[in-house]
Amino acid sequence: MSQRTPLRPLARILDARARGENPDLIERDNIRARGEAGREAARARVAWRIGLVIGIFCVCFGAVGVRMGTLAASTPEEPQRADTAPVIMAQRADITDREGRVLATNLVTHALYAQPPMMVDPVGTAKKLAKIFPDLDAKRLAADFTGSRKFVWIKKKISPEQLQLVHDIGEPGLLFGPREMRLYPNGRLAAHVLGGARFGNEGVDSAEIVGTAGVEKAFDGWLRDPANNGAPLKLSIDLTVQQAVEEILAGGMKLMNAKGATAVVMEAHTGEIIAMASLPDFDPNDRPAPLAKGDASDSPLFNRAVQGVYELGSTFKIFAVAQALELGLVNPTTMLDTKSPMVWGRFRIRDFHNYGPALSITDIVVESSNVGTARIALLIGGQRQKAFLESLGFMAPTPVELSEANSGRPIVPAKWSEITSMTVGYGHGLAASPLHLAAAYATIANGGYKVKPTLVHAATHEKGPQVMSTEAAKTALAMMRAVVTRGTASFADVPGYEVAGKTGTADKVKPGGGYYDNKVIATFASAFPASDPKYILVLSLDEPSSFAANETRRTAGWTAVPVAAEVIRRIAPILGMRPADSVPEVLDGIQLVKAAKSH
């Protein structure tokens, strides 16, 4: 503690009196000095406090500036909810075709719900909502609004126009929840490939979109995975080819009076599916409910290309011939007995026409002889035949990326007896899907290499195992070309595109066993161009019937083949194929066509 200086120090007073000075001046000087010292101390304290305040402000503003700089330099992130409710993932990746054209995307929309305690006129509001949404029941809504419920879902998604009409009601108890919905901008196009989506977990502010069928379901996890950074799922489908195939298939189905139809266009070397159509179809934007009873194939949801398991008739004959060529059992000019009927125990195998006592292997394919193919199957033997068909994929569901693929399991004979081997050789007794057939024909067309059907577009593909020699495959392909130029598929000889193929007409199996007398599955399986096959087309009609040449025709040569020819004529230019130098036969503006053989 500092000592205070006295205002009248005795020594100084005595000294002042000795010098004759006034001692009172000493007190006044001390009072003035003491006051100046106090003022200096006060000034120092004020200056220190001001400096402290300035320092605090500098630190605070500096911290704010640093934080703002950090935020400006960082990647924006969505704010997280503070509660513990589960997060609903609404974002879903787009689906495009091989050229990047959108097949499925998301659309911002709203859900409509009500909080009855907040409603002013619940009964009147129910009536007004029923006018905006005719599918709603005004009485049911009124009961919900006037009861004990605190929350009522009204519509899971509404259009902007409907949203405005609901706004105009002016009811404070009607509320909107923003969300995304799945949109298929092309409507019915490629419906069975895409499948569809629905809402999964739902909240007021968002809803989860989950796949229900097709690639939407098969790739559901991938489409919802944020790690993909919004990258689209690129399918092998070509939108323009798909459109052409569906349009022609619908016209052909109507012209041939068929109850259903399907077509698959596939790359012969990669297995990529360029188009896949099944009729009747549906709009995935408004996916119908599955059938509660009856035949599943009667539903528009049924994918005939993958789920439809049929006996595919004479389209199978080329497999028996190709295997016999591979084993060295025959060559194209080998002659076999084709006298009809062929008697085997209690069974009789007949041909559609009497082809004489013998035919070459080539003509057995061209004329589509059941008897000749049965004899080839006997040369091969049941176990070798079964193993070969298994190597082509006919013993298991196709591995295509569709949720429905597993339901398309082939129906295989329980025992592989000699008669079974003969009937399977010409396409009866073993049932498979059109997609199975397309993949097997691709194996012949590409030189004998097995392909894996796929709906995903990829830059490269691994070559599958070789299941037959290139020489055997080329010989079989040449026979298929002869089927078009002078056999049962003459209507498929599209000028400039060298179509090779095989017809198949199989009686439909009755649900209780046996076969219908007047219902068939007519199929044409083809490859083009035959000199260097690039594409496979398999087209089937379910129960076709056409009146031509003064009689009712059901065989593939008269039904499936003309439709397939028109498909090839339309899609080949879209696929970048230029026709070979040829001039169609035209007389007075009418194009001439060759008469088709019936089979």
Residue 319 within a domain: yes
Residue 220 within a domain: yes
Q: Cα angle vertex 496, ends 493, 499, to 5°? A: 40
Check residue 560 and give left, alpha or beta (phi > 0: left; psi -120 to 50: alpha).
alpha
245 and 230: one domain?
Answer: no
Residue 35 within a domain: no
Which pLDDT does position 297 carry in this prediction? 84
Task: Report the catalytic residues.
Answer: 314
421 and 544: one domain?
Answer: yes
Chain-centre distance for alpha carbon 523: 25
372 and 518: one domain?
Answer: yes
Which pLDDT does position 74 carry in this prediction? 67
331 and 462: one domain?
Answer: yes
535 and 442: one domain?
Answer: yes
| Boundary of a domain, candidates 195, 215, 234 | 234
Nearest to 249 by CA among 595, 568, 521, 597: 568
196 and 286: one domain?
Answer: no
| Eight-state DSSP code of residue 492 | G
| Boundary of a domain, candidates 234, 250, 280 | 234
The CATH number given to whatever domain includes residue 204 is 3.90.1310.10
* CA–CA separation, 227 and 231 (whole Å): 9
Residue 186 within a domain: yes
Which pLDDT does position 70 carry in this prediction? 78
183 and 277: one domain?
Answer: no
Provide the whole-model pTM: 0.80
Which pLDDT does position 8 carry in this prediction? 61
321 and 371: one domain?
Answer: yes
213 and 259: one domain?
Answer: no
CB 333 within 8 A of CB 366: no
364 and 385: one domain?
Answer: yes
CB 221 within 8 A of CB 193: no
Q: Which helix (H) or strand (E) holds 353?
A: none
CB 328 within 8 A of CB 471: no
CB 500 within 8 A of CB 483: yes
* CA–CA separation, 368 and 565 (whole Å): 19
Q: Which helix (H) or strand (E) holds 73?
A: helix 24-73
Overall number of domains in the chain: 2
The CATH number given to whatever domain includes residue 422 is 3.40.710.10
* CA–CA separation, 248 and 250 (whole Å): 5
Find the length of the chain: 599
Residue 39 within a domain: no
387 and 482: one domain?
Answer: yes
Q: Which residues of the chain have pLDDT under 50?
A: 1, 78-87, 582-598
pLDDT digits 0-9 by tens, 426-447: 999 999 999 999 999 999 999 9
183 and 258: one domain?
Answer: no
**Domain range spanning residue 370?**
241-591
Q: Which residues pair with 553 in a beta bridge?
A: 546
Residue 63 within a domain: no
Residue 500 within a domain: yes
CA dihedral (155, 159, 163, 168) positive or negative: negative
3-state secondary structure of 82: coil
| Boundary of a domain, candidates 212, 234, 256 | 234
Residues whose CB is less than 8 angstroms from the CB of residue 448 and which lie 6 or more positions away in sequence, other chains included: 466, 467, 468, 469, 470, 472, 473
pLDDT digits 0-9 by tens, 119-145: 999 999 999 999 999 999 999 999 999
* CA–CA separation, 393 and 153 (whole Å): 49
Residue 83 within a domain: no
